[in-house]
Chain A
Amino acid sequence: MALNPHAEDFDDFYRRTAQSVVHLIYATTGDLTVAQDCTQEAYARAWSRWSSVGRYEQPLSWVRTVARRLATSAWRHDHSGVRAMRLAQASVAHAPAPSEDRVAILTALAQLSPVHRETIALHYLADLSIEQIALETGRPIGTVKAHLHRGRGQLAELLRSTPDITSEPTKKVPS
């Protein structure tokens, strides 16, 4: 049976972009499982209204925003929403433990405020400009500028003071 052309369109979009959303949410929350769950849920929601989302100029922006909100909600409610998602989904894979250098990066990120972390991730991982971040988060441009300035200053200092980060990643933390 031939695949629905919308489905092909969606599948292609999902394959091209899903990993970048997981990456973004992972950097924002420091929890890979939450990132995977929220990303899957965001894409499922996108498919449920693909007739309109698929026509957006930036469907990725829509998915990213939904995933970010789900992640925020999951953390705010002590993962209850994500737990509900896990119950609803047949399979949730468990990622291997991060290597030491990446643990150090996550530790540094964890010391930033959530809003700084989110702004940094949107700027460096989603490659968004200040104006685009302002649009996507609904914050004033001046606020985004301040968050980016303070966040990256703090993060650079934390990263510079962590020796693991300057070396090449090799060792894995035992899981």
Chain B
Amino acid sequence: MTRAPDITPWSLEDDELIRHSLQRLGQDIDPFEMPEPEHIRQAGQQRRRGRLMALVGGLAAAAAVITFVVMQGPHRTAAPPANSTSASTPIPSSSAAGRRLLPTPTPTATPPAPAGCPLASLISQESLSLNIEGLYTDEVGAANAAQQLWDALARCDAKAVVALAQRDQTSVGAKNQGWDSQLATSAGLPIMEGMLRTLSARPGRWLPPKAETDTITWPRVNAESQDPTAWDEAIAAGIITAADRDRMQSQTGYIGWRLAITAQGRWEAVFNTGD
């Protein structure tokens, strides 16, 4: 490779000192034998299979949505929600015009849970269901990913939840450090319950909106939002109490559970400290 001419006065001795020092670090690496390429290819193959599965799932979901929309006719064109003054409602933009809302999934879509799964009982007792209210058809990837996660949680399938997080390189908040190893234990149940309840609250968008893509967040209440309805939704979902709300509103803004999935369907983050 060609080196561009340096633009600053520079001592060749210093240059050599840095180069030599950095090269020395290579001696720490030399004794380490990198994994064989077969091992790397195997890991890559698993990743590719995961992507294909997501693509097939996304296409199937998109086909179902298109069929639904065609059958429903043009009268379901998206309109801003009633509380459109809230900062956490869908971002008004020129591209939003003409977008169509996703249909609400039927609660029966969740696969049966194994016996002894307390989250399945919780869903049944409290009539919890995945909430994708306000998502548009071009955000079907997020709805699809949320459904995958919901299904795994509803089955108490910690392994599947961790697999989804690994696939998407999901960021976790400070309180969740080590959660991947905890999930399969009894200590993991409150984490899975928190995520399940979070997904049952109405979603919104990150604020300020990201330039590259919209990210959908559950719940829609956020640090900037003063919309009482959004706060009530978080209380109804069971992720904060009324006392939490009062404390957060007067001191910090919302710092409870938050789950973020990109419009394309990458599970971006899960926090329970208001990150």
Contact = CB atoms under 8 A, between A and B. Distances in A.
Interface string A123-154: 01101111110000000000001000100100
Contact of B177 (A7, A19, A78): A78
Contacts of A50: 44
A113 interface: no
B17 to A, nearest CB: 5
B70 interface: no
Given A44-B47, A46-B44, A159 B21 contact: yes
B60 interface: no
B44 A80 contact: no
B191 interface: no
A165 B41 contact: no
B4 interface: yes
A121 B37 CA distance: 25
Interface in B179-208: 180-181
A77 interface: yes
Interface string B10-51: 110011011101111111110111110111110111111001
A44 B40 contact: yes
A7 B36 CA distance: 12
B29 A23 contact: yes
Contact of A98 (B14, B21, B28, B174): B28
A87 B11 CA distance: 46
A29 to B, nearest CB: 11
Contacts of B15: 152
Given A10-B37, A32-B29, A88-B43, A120 B18 contact: yes
B171 A124 contact: no
Contacts of B26: 19, 23
Interface in A80-95: 80-81, 83-85, 87-91, 93, 95
B4 A130 contact: yes
Question: A interface, by DSSP: helix, strand, loop or mixed?
Answer: helix
Given A48-B51, A77-B171, A152 B41 contact: no
Interface residues of B, number: 51
B29 A22 contact: yes
Contact of A105 (B22, B47, B180): B22
A109 B23 CA distance: 13
Nearest to A43: B40
Interface stretch (B75-83, B94-102, B162-170): B162-170
B22 A85 contact: no
A18 interface: yes
B8 interface: yes
Nearest to B3: A129
A145 B41 CA distance: 37
B24 A102 contact: yes
A22 B8 CA distance: 29
B110 to A, nearest CB: 25
A152 B26 CA distance: 19
Contact of A48 (B1, B44, B174, B178): B44
A26 B21 CA distance: 13
Given A23-B25, A95-B31, A106-B25, A152 B18 contact: yes
A7 B19 CA distance: 34
Contacts of B21: 105, 108, 159, 165
B29 A95 contact: yes
Nearest to B36: A11
A120 B21 CA distance: 12
Given A43-B40, A96-B28, A129-B3, 20 more contacts: A10-B37, A11-B41, A15-B37, A19-B34, A23-B29, A26-B29, A27-B25, A47-B41, A47-B44, A80-B171, A88-B166, A93-B33, A99-B27, A99-B28, A105-B25, A124-B19, A129-B2, A130-B4, A145-B7, A156-B14
